[in-house]
Each structure stands twice: as structure tokens, then as C-alpha cells.
């Protein structure tokens, strides 16, 4: 009987621990505000002249493709596909390999895509000190600036891990944070059909799709994704185009 009571108490304590962890996770996740592109766009005053790229997402059915990682060889094949479908996208680049592939970085910019900051070495920013966060973001921003002549205004925290501290530092550095509405989790599979299905199942107007070109199944999935979303009436835009006539505000988190 005593053993049974002890087991019941342990089960209760375990359940309480799980509930407490869930409450803490919810509190952390909700400690900063996330903004949807549609909401900020609809609240903004009408912009002067034509929208960037000629697509007004207040009227068009828009979606933003975003690609994270190092600008290595598969990026050229991806850019060929995007050009074929006239699909503007946003590339969040890690800084450590940028110097080895300046032509790829330059091509991304010259073909009308948007460049964002994805840190230098891809650490979990919430787990490193302030100075490391600043260094990771500043080094990557400067590397992109040295090649394209333009410093990124957007950043994506690795694994989407952010909090009030990261938001404060991002604001100091003039960077807005961009998360996502759909991820194919292409880092855990090489199944092209599955990657495509995950994207298409989650795609919606004003969505932000996350993909990683360096994973083997990703680039082969892109033609089918582009073809099917085009048939569904989507226009492919950068994150900044998705927000227009609003502009991304430093420190804020968009998804």
C-alpha cells in the first residue's frame, strides 16, 4: 500500500512538473508581441507611388518564400528556378561562408531578392550573452554590406528562438525579426514529396514559408511548390513587399 501511495505521489509530481513547464513555455512565448504582415499592412497609411516590385499585397494573394543558410552551390540552382517563375524571395544568410561565395550573394541581390541576417555561426541567441548576439549579427551585416552595398534590415533568429532581450538588442542594431508561418522541416528529411506536401498544406495568403536550400531534398521540391502555388493564384514576394505600405520596425517580431 505504501509503495502504491508513493507511486501515486510521484505520478502527481510528474504531472505538475509537466504542467509547470508548459505554463513557463507559454509565458516565455507570450512575453513579446508578434505581428502579422496583414495586420501591420492594413494599419499603415497608403504609401506614395507604386508598391515595390509592382505587387500590392493589399489586393494580390501574396506569399513569401524565405530561405535560410549558407550561400553555397545549391543556391544558384534555386535562383534559376525562382527566375523562371518570377518569384521574389528573402534569403536569410549565415555570415561565416559569405566571403567564400560573393558571386552568389551578389546574384541574390541583383536579381531582386531580399537579403536578411541569420547570424554568423547560427547559435541559439537566447543562450548566448549580449556581446555574442551583437557580434553574430554585426559581422554578418557587415559581410553582406561589403558585397552588396546594402546592410540588411531583417534578421531571423536561428531556430526562431527569441525573447525580450533579443528584441531589445535587435532594436539597438536596427533589425526587425522575421519568423514564419510554415516550415517544411526539411532539415529532418530528404523526401522531396513530403517537403512539398508540408509547404502546400500550410500555405495561406500572407504566409511566410521557411526552407533550407542546402538540405538535399529541398531544391528538388521547389519546382512543384512554385508550380502549384502559382496555379492557386499566389504572387511570390519578399518579406518587405509583404508588409508594404508598412515597413519592418527594428526589434519587432513578424510572422
What is the residue range of 166's domain? 34-254
Q: What is the pLDDT of residues 40-70, one digit of tens each?
A: 998 988 766 788 889 999 999 999 999 999 9
**In terms of domains, do 12 and 70 share one?**
no
Say if residue 26 is in the same domain as residue 38: no
Q: Do 126 and 61 reside in the same domain of the chain?
A: yes
Same domain, 21 and 102: no
* pTM > 0.85: yes
Helix/strand/coil (H, E, C) string of the chain?
CHHHHHHHHHHHHHHHHHHHHHHHHHHHHCCCCEECHHHHHHHCCCCCCCCHHHCCCCCCCEEEEEEEECCCCHHHHHHHHHHHCCCCEEEEECCCCHHHCHHHHHHHHHCCCEEEECCCCCCCHHHCCHHHHHHHHHHHHHHHHHHHCCCCCEECCHHHCCCHHHHHHHHHHCCEEECCCEECCCCCCCCHHHHHHHHHHHCCCCEEEEECCCCCCHHHHHHHHHHHHHHCCCEECCHHHHHCCCCCCCCCEEC
Q: What is the CATH number of the domain that holds 211?
A: 3.20.20.370
Q: Does residue 25 sit in the same domain as residue 149?
A: no
Together in a domain, 140 and 167: yes
pLDDT band at 27 (very low <50, low <70, confident <90, very high): very low
User: Are residues 14 and 74 both part of a single domain?
Assistant: no
Q: Write out the catalytic residue numbers.
A: 68, 212
Residues 116 and 221 in one domain: yes
Q: Indicate whether 93 and 214 sit together in one domain.
A: yes
Q: Are residues 105 and 131 in the same domain?
A: yes
Residues 58 and 176 in one domain: yes
Residues 6 and 119 in one domain: no
The domain tally of the chain equals 2
- For the stretch 209-249, pLDDT in tens is 999 999 999 999 999 999 999 999 999 999 999 999 999 99
Amino acid at each position: 500500500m505504501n509503495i502504491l501511495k508513493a507511486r501515486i505521489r510521484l505520478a502527481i509530481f510528474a504531472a505538475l512538473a509537466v504542467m509547470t513547464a508548459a505554463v513557463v513555455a507559454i509565458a516565455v512565448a507570450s512575453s513579446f508581441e508578434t505581428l502579422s504582415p496583414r495586420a501591420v499592412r492594413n494599419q499603415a497609411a497608403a504609401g506614395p507611388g507604386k508598391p515595390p516590385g509592382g505587387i500590392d499585397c493589399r489586393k494580390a494573394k501574396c506569399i513569401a518564400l524565405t530561405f535560410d543558410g549558407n550561400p553555397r552551390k545549391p543556391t544558384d540552382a534555386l535562383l534559376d528556378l525562382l527566375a523562371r517563375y518570377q518569384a521574389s524571395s528573402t534569403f536569410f544568410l549565415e555570415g561565416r561562408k559569405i566571403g567564400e561565395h560573393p558571386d552568389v550573394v551578389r546574384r541574390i541581390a541583383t536579381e531582386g531578392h531580399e537579403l536578411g541576417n541569420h547570424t554568423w555561426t547560427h547559435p541559439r541567441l537566447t543562450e548566448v550573452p549580449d556581446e555574442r548576439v551583437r557580434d553574430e549579427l554585426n559581422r554578418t551585416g557587415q559581410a553582406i554590406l561589403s558585397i552588396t552595398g546594402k546592410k540588411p534590415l531583417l534578421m531571423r533568429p536561428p531556430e526562431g528562438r527569441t525573447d525580450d532581450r533579443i528584441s531589445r538588442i535587435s532594436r539597438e542594431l536596427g533589425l526587425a525579426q522575421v519568423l514564419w508561418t510554415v516550415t517544411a522541416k526539411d532539415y529532418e528529411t530528404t523526401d522531396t514529396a513530403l517537403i512539398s506536401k508540408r509547404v502546400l498544406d500550410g500555405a495561406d495568403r500572407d504566409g511566410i514559408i521557411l526552407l533550407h536550400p542546402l538540405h538535399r531534398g529541398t531544391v528538388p521540391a521547389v519546382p512543384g511548390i512554385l508550380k502549384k502555388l502559382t496555379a492557386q493564384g499566389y504572387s511570390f514576394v519578399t518579406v518587405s513587399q509583404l508588409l508594404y505600405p508598412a515597413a519592418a520596425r527594428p526589434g519587432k517580431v513578424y510572422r
